[in-house]
Chains A and B, each alone.
Chain A
């Protein structure tokens, strides 16, 4: 599939509105919602954003992101004070730096191998990477403990999330906004532009003297760094990490999140993560029990069906649905303008909350 990559961007006004609404969330939502839906959606969104960045700007749909964030999470978990894993007890911030460096280096290595393949081969090779990381950590109990690594030491800035989830939420929000702006910024640099050239016309770029493989590899390492950020946030969120939390199911969940939101729009990552967290938590309540086939225990069937429907009907995901709906509306108002994915203009306050959370 050579997708129609949308070049539309969220306007600064819309972004500001969304961030303000998100920042005020502790005022109007419960601690439960803040923690289980919003915080989780934010870090899942970062993980999905690293995938979206590669897919949208590099044309590489990578399934290795969960493996990479698992590497970062495991590194952090082993370096700080915790139950299980290695006995090191580093300063949490130092461990964060180390975790990000390790994830980026592993990503560089993976990228070196995978960057020479394209399209569906790339998908399969990165899937194999991710699952191999999972098997590695399940086998090597010196690193992953027998019941995972638990009770991780957190940096002081997070306070005590069990009592007050707000600080952790704010940290995750700030990091999410920073990641969003960073990814968007990188896509506008010379590197980002040549990466998009590599995505569209690798042969021509090669003829122009660009090192195609190097660009892919560096983009992959950069996305690994972002995935590493998500990994650190995920262990801050869970306060534990087990091999089971980075298995194939999670790999596919991140892919599902990216696809639900819109595989070719950065903000889609967070839209998808928000939708995923909502379905994850509330589907158990409203889904009717149909024998053994459908019901509160069949979350994976529901998320699989949502995924299937999105892939079948709207490859652009929720963001794509929203954009085509808006284009149809505004197009009618303008008198039948061509439905193009143009830059979002004007404050889109209405749908905004769902766009970042």
Chain B
């Protein structure tokens, strides 16, 4: 996926630019030692390439060992990545345009899930009357509308809440990015505590429509969850496509792209930047809420999920580069796959190292930042 928010291709990181400049000025007469790309094989790069090669070989060996398992693990990673992308794209959109790090993004995610759950239970819960299930969880039938309506309604509601938060707390201190981050942290603390009070500490799920199959059979006798594999993945692709079209083809997207590059110029041209900011915040919060309903159906809703998804969004955009939608997609894919593989394949010989899987995520973050301090598609602000 191409870089959609950034109108130009991802710019070079500063020190890299310096390095290539030095090379070209030094080699005016001498034959250019770095043909075209400006890339040099520094010892660090070779080390990273070697590590990457080892990882690939390791995965190939594991895949050859049990192909079915490998396919399932990969699908797990990709679907996880799809969810990460939906949430993180909202985060990166808000940051890209307004330089606001919305630390309440995870709270909006979880709130979206809880709101959908409340609507579903309040309006669509119909007991089948038999009450056969001992757990009491699955004794109700849910139609497609019973899932789809809360999804849409909760998503839009979260978008509106996002706009309210932005208008009340963030609009008047535009440009003070640290203060805005602190304000959203304060909001996330309050919202998390209020959600704990309102929805309790027990893990809950949004019910998927009863008519949907639980799993689908893929070629090669692989069974994979229907909701996870079809709905979440499909939604993420759809959202990616829609965002791409909105950013590339609409006037709003044009303004957003221009705003990412130079906010002052955009407002000097007579565009109501405040309106655009509100729109971007609506869209960003909307995506968090949408992700929350998807995540609430796919995984679960519980206190702590807000933190987890804030962290995931952070890692995704740190890897991909702040403000870049393409970066968010790549970052989400990297994080999702690394999570999935490390949880299963971190077994060397007889020693089970899956406990340490978080270190692999950490290594991913460190590795990307060591090579590109602003992320893969990041550009200096």
A residues neighboring B (CB under 8 Å) = 1, 3, 61, 113, 116-117, 119-121, 123-125, 127-128, 131-132, 135-136, 139-142, 247-248, 252, 255-256, 259, 292-293, 297-301, 303-305, 307-308, 311-312, 315
**Are A116 and B373 interface neighbours, CB within 8 A?**
yes
Known: A124-B318, A128-B311, A293-B194. A304 touches B186 (CB 8 A): yes
Known: A132-B358, A139-B356. A61 touches B183 (CB 8 A): no
B residues neighboring A (CB under 8 Å) = 99, 101, 169, 176-179, 181-183, 185-187, 189-190, 192-194, 196-198, 307, 311, 314-315, 317-318, 322, 355-359, 361-362, 365-366, 369-370, 373-374
Q: Do most interface residues of chain B lie in helix, strand or loop, or is the interface mixed?
A: helix
Known: A139-B355, A255-B182. 10 other contacts (CB 8 A): A117-B369, A120-B178, A139-B357, A248-B307, A248-B311, A298-B193, A299-B193, A300-B193, A308-B187, A312-B183
**Are A61 and B178 interface neighbours, CB within 8 A?**
yes
Residue of A nearest to B357 (CB): A139
Q: Select B358's contact among A113, A136, A142, A299, beta carbons within 8 Å.
A: A136
Query: What B residues does A312 contact at CB under 8 A?
Result: 169, 183
Point out which of B189, B318, B355 has the most chain A C-beta atoms below 10 A from its C-beta: B189
**Are B186 and A140 interface neighbours, CB within 8 A?**
no
Query: What B residues does A120 contact at CB under 8 A?
Result: 99, 101, 177-178, 181
Query: What A residues does B197 contact at CB under 8 A?
Result: 292-293, 297-298, 301
**Are B198 and A311 interface neighbours, CB within 8 A?**
no
Known: A121-B374, A125-B369, A131-B307. A1 touches B179 (CB 8 A): yes
Point out which of B177, B197, B356 has the most chain A C-beta atoms below 10 A from its C-beta: B197
Known: A124-B314, A140-B355. A304 touches B198 (CB 8 A): no
Give the Cβ gap from B97 to chain A, nearest Cβ, in Å.
14
CA distance A117 to B365 in the complex (A): 13
CA distance A125 to B319 in the complex (A): 10
Known: A125-B369, A293-B194. A1 touches B186 (CB 8 A): no
CA distance A1 to B314 in the complex (A): 20
**Are B186 and A308 interface neighbours, CB within 8 A?**
yes
CA distance A312 to B171 in the complex (A): 12
**Are B311 and A140 interface neighbours, CB within 8 A?**
no
CA distance A247 to B213 in the complex (A): 38
Residue of B nearest to A122 (CB): B178
Known: A132-B362, A293-B197, A308-B183. A300 touches B190 (CB 8 A): yes
CA distance A61 to B361 in the complex (A): 23
Give the Cβ gap from B284 to chain A, nearest Cβ, in Å.
16
CA distance A61 to B103 in the complex (A): 15
Give the Cβ gap from B349 to chain A, nearest Cβ, in Å.
18
Query: What B residues does A119 contact at CB under 8 A?
Result: 177-178
**Are A124 and B190 interface neighbours, CB within 8 A?**
no
**Are B183 and A128 interface neighbours, CB within 8 A?**
no
**Are B198 and A135 interface neighbours, CB within 8 A?**
no
CA distance A301 to B195 in the complex (A): 10
**Are B190 and A311 interface neighbours, CB within 8 A?**
no
- Selected A-B contacts with CB under 8 Å, 24 pairs: A61-B178, A119-B177, A120-B181, A123-B178, A124-B101, A124-B314, A125-B369, A128-B318, A132-B361, A135-B358, A136-B358, A140-B355, A140-B356, A248-B307, A248-B311, A256-B189, A293-B194, A300-B189, A301-B189, A301-B193, A304-B186, A304-B187, A304-B189, A307-B185
